[in-house]
Amino acid sequence: MGQDLIDRAIELMRGQRFGEALPLLRQAIDRDPSLWNAWYMAGQCCRFLNDIDGAISYLTRAARLKADGAAIFLALGIALQLRAQWAEAVEAFQRAIDIDSDYELAYNSLALTQKKAGALEKALHNYDAGAKALVRRLVKVMQNNRNSPIIKHRETAGTLWVEYASYAAVYMASSVEGISGIAWPTGAQAMEEERTKSHAGLYWIDVPNDKGETVRLFLPNYLNTLRESLRSDSSYSSLIGNRGTILELLGRQDDARQHFDEAIEFQP
């Protein structure tokens, strides 16, 4: 009943015309108060118009109408954060993460809130959790197909991404029945694979180990593809840079510099 108004509001919001979109959304709500997306969009308009109380009000109602809306709880948490309502903001961000465990934006906002509240160790943990959520999301869409693009090796000064790639490999393999562990090619094997392309675009192969168990051997194309995916997603650079700031505040200067350098190197 109010969808026509919502559609017009969406176009206005795309053009950042929030003051014009908000009255349309209010009309849609008056026509049908059950339209959770109208409440959500109205809350977003209020936030961008710097009406934080209005944003909290609209987004709270949207969250009641759609309890599984991770984006709603993220937006609500941001509005609460802007009001310095740290505990309530943390609760909203945690709810978003409970709904979508791979929602790296929610981890990022949760960690920022904890930083502002002075909970630096918790912030440090959640920036790391956000980076892990990001790589989980990226590996889940990697289809192990010989026709996948073959990405070449690229030298990187930063090495944090390799740790996250290793974490993602373990995460992926652990969810597959019959896989007892993971393995990596030696340097010589990796160079031979890149030279011959014997496995084409495959990211991994399953092979027996000396105990007769099946292990997942991750090929160079897995690392190279994930590296470039992280380079093209601004979330990784942001999370690593933000984590570096926490390390600096904790007095861990060498670790902080490592994070800052990698954040710069991985900027899209």
pLDDT tens-digit map of 205-217: 999 988 889 999 9
pLDDT recorded at residue 127:
98
What separation, in Å, do the N-terminal and C-terminal C-alpha atoms of the chain show?
A: 42
Query: Rounded to whole angstroms, how far apart are CA atoms 241 and 130?
Result: 12
Residue 144, Cα to own-chain centre: how many angstroms? 22
pLDDT at 77 over 70: yes
- Asked if residue 209 lies in contact with residue 215, where contact means CB atoms within 8 angstroms, the answer is yes
Counting residues of the chain whose pLDDT is more than 90, the rounded percentage is: 92
What pTM did the predictor assign? 0.92
Mean pLDDT, rounded, for 230-246: 97
Mean pLDDT, rounded, for 121-128: 98
Q: Looking at domain 3-100, does it have CATH number 3.40.50.720?
A: no
Q: Kindly provide the residue ranges of all beta strands, DSSP E only, lying in 87-245, ordered along the sequence.
A: 181-183, 204-208, 214-218
Q: How confident is the model at residue 59 (pLDDT cuts 50, 70, 90)?
A: very high
pLDDT recorded at residue 210:
87
Residue 121, judged by CB atoms within 10 A of its CB (0-12, 13-18, 19+), counts as exposed
Query: Rounded to whole angstroms, how far apart are CA atoms 120 and 113?
Result: 10
Mean pLDDT lowest among 34-48, 95-109, 175-189, 237-251: 175-189
Closest CA to 24 of 4, 1, 50, 44: 4
Residue 113, judged by CB atoms within 10 A of its CB (0-12, 13-18, 19+), counts as buried
- Asked if residue 135 lies in contact with residue 166, where contact means CB atoms within 8 angstroms, the answer is no
Residue 149, judged by CB atoms within 10 A of its CB (0-12, 13-18, 19+), counts as exposed
pLDDT recorded at residue 19:
96
pLDDT at 2 over 80: no
Beta strands at 181-183 and 204-208: parallel, antiparallel or unpaired: unpaired
Query: Rounded to whole angstroms, how far apart are CA atoms 176 and 201?
Result: 20
pLDDT at 104 over 80: yes
pLDDT at 71 over 90: yes
Mean pLDDT lowest among 43-57, 71-85, 109-123, 166-180: 166-180
Q: Return the higher-pLDDT residue of 190 and 123.
A: 123
Query: Rounded to whole angstroms, how far apart are CA atoms 122 and 84?
Result: 17
Over the stretch 161-202, which tens digit does the pLDDT of each residue have?
999 999 999 999 998 999 999 999 998 999 999 899 999 999
Indicate the domain borders of the chain: 3-100, 128-268
pLDDT recorded at residue 1:
59
pLDDT recorded at residue 70:
98
- Asked if residue 152 lies in contact with residue 120, where contact means CB atoms within 8 angstroms, the answer is no
Mean pLDDT, rounded, for 16-22: 96
Query: Rounded mean pLDDT of the chain?
Result: 96
Q: Please, which contacts does 211-214 make with residues 24 or more away whose CB atoms are closer than 8 Å?
A: 213/180, 213/181, 214/178, 214/179, 214/180
Q: CB atoms < 10 A from the CB of 178, how many?
A: 8
pLDDT at 144 over 90: yes
Strand partners, 218: 204
pLDDT recorded at residue 162:
96
pLDDT recorded at residue 175:
87
HSE, CB side, 13 Å, CA atoms: give it for residue 266.
30
pLDDT at 235 over 80: yes
Q: Ramachandran region of residue 10, left (φ > 0), alpha (ψ -120 to 50) or beta?
A: alpha
